[in-house]
Amino acid sequence: MILDFMILDGWKTYGGRVVVKGFDPEFNAIVGKNGHGKSNMLDGICFVLGISKSEDMRAPSADDLIYRHGGVTKATVTLVFDNSDPSNGPLGFEDCAQITVSRQVTKGGRSQQYKINGSTVTLTRVINMFHSVQLNVNNPNFLIMQGRIAKVVDMKPHETSAMIAEAAGTKFYENKERTSVKTIAQKDTKLIEIERVMTEDIRPRIKRLEEQKQQYVEFTKLEQRAVDAEEVMIAHQFWLASKKAEEVKEQRAVDVEEKGAIDERKKGAAKEVKDLETKIRETRELRTKDGGAQMTIVKEAESVASQKLVAARTDHKELKRRGGDDAKELKEALKAIEDLKKSQAQAAGGWDEVAANEMAAKAKADEAEATAQRAQAALDAAIGLGGSGADAGGAQDLPGQLNGAKEALRNLATESKVQESRKKEAEKQLKEMEAQLAKARKEGGKQEDQHAALAAEVARLRKGLEVLSGPEASAEAEARLSVEVREAQAELRRRESEECALAGSLAASDFQLPSAAFAGRVLGTVATNQRVREERHMIAIEALAGSRLNQVIVDNDETADQLLRQGLQRRVTFIPQNRVRKSAQEEASLTSRVQQAQALVGEARAKRALDLLDYDQAVHPAMLYVFGSMIVCSDRDAARKVCDELNLKTVTLEGDLFDPSGTLTGGSRKPSGESLLNRLGQLHALRETIGGLRKQIQGKEQLLHGLSKAAEQSQQQRQQLEVAQARLDVLEQTRQASPIGRLEESATRLCRQRDEALEALARLANEMRTREQERDSLQTQIDDLAGNRDKVVAERKAAAAAAKKAAQAAHKAYAKVNETAQSARAQLEAAEADMAAAVRRLDEAKEQQAATSGAIIEAAAAEAERFAEYEAARAELDSCQKALGTYDTRVQELESRIRELAEQREKDEAELIAIAHRVDKLGREQKEAEKEAKELKAKHSFIGEHEKHFGDAGGKYDFSKVKTMQKDRERLQAQLKKDAEQINKKVLAMYEKAQEEYADLVAKREQVQKDKESLQGTIDHLAQMKKEQVQRTYEQVNEDFKAIFHTLMPSAHAKLATIEGLTVEEGLQIQAGFGGVWKKGLTELSGGQKTLVALSLVLALLKVKPAPLYILDEVDAALDGSNTQNVGKMIKQHFSQAQFLIVSHKNGMFDNANVVFRVELDEITCKSSVLRKMPVLGLPEVSAATEPPRRTAGAAATGVASRAPGAKKMATSAASGRAVLGVKN
């Protein structure tokens, strides 16, 4: 791949679009004055090849790469390469005969664009393409400046060795060595960390778990003892049930046999009764034949008397019933009065308060009015003491008022004496009355005790009835509850049917245990062990888990192995939790990655799948294994971003899966309502509903049973209350008419008179105190007025005004209270009216009861009379019957026998009913006992194995000490409950896991040690390879160095000599010799000789790994014409495999170039131009003195053509800035 042509557009001094064509595939020279743009042309090539820093292209910033005049805002450099020889072309471009590479920079350096064959690419793509043909712009030997030649001469031995090493490409080995050393350091750190974990964590944990394991073993032994004790108690329960079933069966057989005997006896008795009835009929026929006519008359008389007696008794009974109704009416009237008394007492209580308030307000108002009058009178009196006439008459009122007060006191004292006399008389009579009442009660003590006992019994029954609900309410509640129970049972059956159908459709997502031995070890499928919190996440979770939802979670791999050996009906994948359990560090790492995802797209757009589930912590290892760091994203963009940047498996809410491997899964999905997880949630909800319905039915059935029982108790209590109340009512009626009742009424009246007298005495005492205060006040006023009239008048005027104001306020308050009192008084009067009506009703009831009582007495007398008549008729009938006694005796004997048989039949029937009930009850008890025994036997397999030993004395199942065994079982259970809180039941798994972790760490430690040793071997191998490569490069470069230098200076020699005590890698010395004599150092050489030595070494280095293109910028500056000519020839002859672009000012270089490009600057437009020309021998050299001033802005070029023998004329266009290229003959 060789450079064919280049295009400079807006690049540095190239303001227009300049096309530089016709590059020679071997040797190209670029000439021109200093500052005209030669180096800018080379910078453009380096720019395209990938130099990133503008400083490396002699520009302070990216803006300095752009032509500064004419409003140019961007610079573009395009290189066109000839790739007609694919064997030397870059990788991937074998089919391209021409490769175009361009790079563009815009103003401000905001963007730089790279293109290959018109397609935009990255800088890395461009650099990789050039590297594939050994074209590395950062290779120090690619662009060789004059300054680099000078540095080579001044290099120290170790720098020379470094240059050789760089040419040998040892950086690869050095980088590998550094990486290996760093990895060894990491391995050392890992070893330290492994040892720390083993010392600080694993070993102490194993020791602690060993102790816990021992405790757990003891605990399991205790558990086994508890299980054995429980087995003995269950065996005893089974033994009792079996024994009871046998006993009940035997008793039932006895009852059935007895029932058969009674049935046979009943048949014989029926036949005997029939025979006896025939005999009675025959005997009566004989009796009628002997004396039946008289007997008929007597019987009719007895029958009439009997009918009259029955009528009298019926009348008497009816009157007694009426008496009961009257008593009931009287009771209701009494109850109404009691109720009214309570209402009246409430109204009276309210009235007493209102009346007291009214009286207090009235008294306060009267007192205020009296105070105001007294104040006014005192004022008038004070004024009247100093005047005459009418005023003087006012002064005489004070003595009159004083006399009036004294008179009122005397009257009050008289009335108090009267009330005191009334009180004493009432107390005296009350004392006598109480003595009489005590005597009467003593005489009628039995009746009083009976009354008190009946009253207590009625109160007790009434209170008990209040506790129980009423029968109507109980019946209504019982009916309502029965309906609710039936409805709940129907709903339960419907729900159970739905649950059965849904569970059948989800059979693949459930796992049935092959035996009960696996209970607690098999935890179910992944699907049944978790619930999605929100329905909108169900599709995403189901898409993430996929077929893992049907995988079965087990406690360890041993359980899984045992299940597989059972021969399962379908293919099952097990998740042993001991195998998939992650360490705390791994869990923390997963959590960290989830947090990174949330930080990347926002917490609201990315949720950890585990955080969207509810599950028991017992299955956390399995859930972590299934879902791990999987992310549920709200949209596709977030899911794709998290997957691409963090390599996490993600899913959208619609179920589209993004896998770090690059696959994307999506498409048709079932609605969330039909998804597996949704149906599992429905099944779970159905089972919860069924459980709730069963509890509800059980509770309502218990409540229904309680209501039925309460209704029965309430009915019995009510019947007992009615009987007791009726007896109490009759006793109270009798008691009210007795002397005790009248004495109690008189005692009540005397108590009321005494209380009234006491109230009057208290009121009179208050009034007397008030009058005494008034008397004393009047006396004081008279005394004060006699000596200090003016002052007293002023004070009494103020007092009179204040008293008048207070009196007005008191009258206003009294008016409000009086209004309330009027309303209360109306209510009290209404209550009194109701009481009067109730009393009238009571009086009417008493009158009716009295009338009925009289009729009852008369009816009783009539009944006695009719009874006497019946007795007489009966006596006559007996006399006749006596005459026919033989027949009657015979009939009576026969009838007696029939009655005996009838009584026996009733007894037999009752016995049969009892036996039937007993047989039925025994049958139920037998079934229950057999059912209990059967269920126990089915539930506990050990019963069938050891049943024959149940009850054996001295054996395990010796039930003679069952109470002791019961206590032992309770003690063991209590001990287990106590120890269970301190026992680590997962210790075996934890101990096994800790041992596995320890073994894993030991293996890791050994592996790390092996890796470390392997890395050390790699380092040693790399060092050896590096040494060998440097040695080979040194030998090659040294030979080329010798040859090139000898070519440039045939009479001289040069070499890279090793230094004693140092290896090739540690230091090399450049030596030169002339005329067979080696110089001691390069300082003895002239400037040109030094340049030739350095240039020879650089050219020798170029031959180590040749590149297709080299750029040399004025490397011949320090050489004379002859040496320059030699350098040019040497490059042309010995480096034909590469394309050289050489900037030079000397003919010796031009003469050897195949193509010469001349660069000139238009000083008016400041633009550079480039002309191509075949070399012309003897072209005048460009002097540095003739170069124009350094540019301060951009430059543009004009083309200048040079002629050479046989070359065609070149035309230039300065205005357009284009170069017209000449072509070789």
Contact, 1219 vs 1170, CB < 8 A?
Answer: yes
Question: What's the average model confidence in pLDDT over 474-481?
Answer: 64
Domain ranges of the chain: 2-139+1110-1186, 396-443+739-784, 471-503+687-734
pLDDT greater than 80 at residue 499:
no
Q: pLDDT tens digit string along 814-831? A: 788 787 877 777 777 777
Percentage of the residues of the chain whose pLDDT score is greater than 70: 85
Question: What's the average model confidence in pLDDT over 23-46?
Answer: 88
Where is average pLDDT lowest: 85-89, 471-475, 728-732, 1142-1146?
A: 471-475
Instruction: State the DSSP string of 1101-1148.
Output: HHTTS--SEEEEESTTTT--HHHHHHHHHHHHHH-TTSEEEEE-S-HH
Element (H, E) at 723: helix 676-736
pLDDT band at 856 (very low <50, low <70, confident <90, very high): confident
Question: What's the average model confidence in pLDDT over 639-643?
Answer: 89
Q: pLDDT tens digit string along 796-809? A: 788 888 888 888 88
Question: What's the average model confidence in pLDDT over 473-489?
Answer: 70
Select from 14, 2, 21 the least CA-distant residue to 1221. 21
3-class secondary-structure state, position 254:
helix
Residue with the bigger pLDDT between 441 and 1205: it is 441
Residue 349, pLDDT score: 63
For the ranges 359-373, 1085-1099, 1181-1195, 1198-1212, the maximum mean pLDDT occurs at: 1085-1099
Residue with the bigger pLDDT between 144 and 653: it is 653
pLDDT greater than 80 at residue 227:
yes
Residue 78, pLDDT score: 96
Q: Virtual CA dihedral for 841, 847, 848, 851, nearest 10 degrees? A: 180
Percentage of the residues of the chain whose pLDDT score is greater than 90: 4
Q: pLDDT tens digit string along 534-557? A: 888 888 888 888 878 888 999 888
Residue 1207, pLDDT score: 34
Which residues are registered as beta bridge partners of 80?
Answer: 5, 100
Instruction: State the DSSP string of 767-835.
Output: HHHHHHHHHHHHHHHHHHHTT-HHHHHHHHHHHHHHHHHHHHHHHHHHHHHHHHHHHHHHHHHHHHHHH
What backbone torsions phi and psi does residue 691 show, to the nearest 5 degrees?
A: -60, -40
Supply the DSSP symbol for 608: E
pLDDT band at 1034 (very low <50, low <70, confident <90, very high): confident
Residue 957, pLDDT score: 79
Q: pLDDT tens digit string along 606-636? A: 988 888 888 988 889 998 888 887 899 989 8
The CA distance from 394 to 788, in Å, is: 17
Residue 117, pLDDT score: 92
Query: Would you tell me how many other CB atoms lie within 10 Å of the CB of residue 819?
Result: 10
Question: What's the average model confidence in pLDDT over 1215-1225?
Answer: 30
Select from 1115, 1103, 1108, 1090 the least CA-distant residue to 1039. 1103
CATH 3.40.50.300 fits 2-139+1110-1186, yes or no: yes
pLDDT band at 109 (very low <50, low <70, confident <90, very high): low
pLDDT greater than 90 at residue 79:
yes
Q: pLDDT tens digit string along 462-473? A: 777 666 655 444
Q: Virtual CA dihedral for 348, 353, 357, 362, nearest 10 degrees? A: 30
Residue recorded with tokens 């280095």: 1101
Question: What's the average model confidence in pLDDT over 731-759?
Answer: 73
HSE-up of 141 (CA within 13 Å, CB side)? 23
Task: Give the burial string for 185-208 (b: 16+ CB within 10 Å, else e).
Answer: eebeebeeebeebbeeebeebbee
Residue 472, pLDDT score: 44
Q: pLDDT tens digit string along 266-319? A: 888 888 888 888 888 887 777 676 666 667 777 788 788 888 888 887 887 888
pLDDT band at 1083 (very low <50, low <70, confident <90, very high): confident
Contact, 630 vs 638, CB < 8 A?
Answer: no
Residue 1196, pLDDT score: 35
DSSP percent split of the chain into helix, strand, coil, nearest 5: 70, 10, 20
Residue 110, pLDDT score: 65
Residue 786, pLDDT score: 61
pLDDT greater than 60 at residue 1184:
no
The CA distance from 987 to 218, in Å, is: 13
Contact, 51 vs 74, CB < 8 A?
Answer: no
Task: Give the burial string for 441-452 (b: 16+ CB within 10 Å, else e).
Answer: beebeeeeeebe
Structure tokens at 401: 């008022």
Task: Give the burial string for 329-343 (b: 16+ CB within 10 Å, else e).
Answer: bbbebbebbeebeee
- Residue 690: which residues within 8 A CB-CB, separation 6 or more? 492, 495, 496, 499
Q: pLDDT tens digit string along 149-183? A: 777 777 888 888 888 887 777 777 777 888 888 88
Residue 116, pLDDT score: 93
pLDDT greater than 70 at residue 340:
yes
